[in-house]
Structure 1
Amino acid sequence: MATQFQRASNSERYFAALAVAERRALHSFFDQHIVEDKHLGYFALDEGDYNALPAHLAARVVHTIHGAMSDEF
């Protein structure tokens, strides 16, 4: 699930997307990516929404938080 942040400065959008990605990562097996977009600024993207992250999105990833859940228990 992608989350967008409009009506804010670019740095505010980045930190808002980072906060969402960090919260999601705690409860996910999948990596959480922050993706840069010319029109939207930054948004959080859950890798689990895609079988493999499409090249057009992978090229715009600026930061990744690894999923914190584990199957090891």
Structure 2
Amino acid sequence: MTTLGNLESGSNSYFEALATAERRALHSFFDQHVVEDDDLGYFALDEGDYNALPAHLASRVVHTVHGGMLDEF
């Protein structure tokens, strides 16, 4: 699920998106990405929403938090 925070500029929206990605990664098998957008600033994106990230999104990923859950048990 793509999470959009308040439309803030610069570092505020980055840190908000990063906090969202880190929080969600703790309970997910999928990586959480912080994506830069010209209109929205930054937002958190769950890799599980896509089979593989489309090129137009992958090229805008600025940080990835690896999913914290393992399905090996």
- How many residues are paired up? 73
Q: Which runs of 5+ in 2 are unaligned?
A: none
Is the contact between residue 13 and residue 43 of structure 1 (CA under 8 Å) also seen in structure 2?
Answer: yes
- For the pair 1:13 / 2:2, whether they are aligned, the reply is no
CA distance in 2, matches of 1:55, 1:7: 24
Q: Which runs of 5+ in 1 are unaligned?
A: none
Equivalent residues in 2 for 1:19-38, closer than 5 Å: 19-38=19-38
CA distance in 2, matches of 1:7, 1:58: 21
Structure 1 stretches of 4+ with a deviation exceeding 3 A read none
- For the pair 1:62 / 2:66, whether they are aligned, the reply is no
Deviations 1:19-71 (A, max 9, x none): 00001000000000000000000000000000110000000000000000001
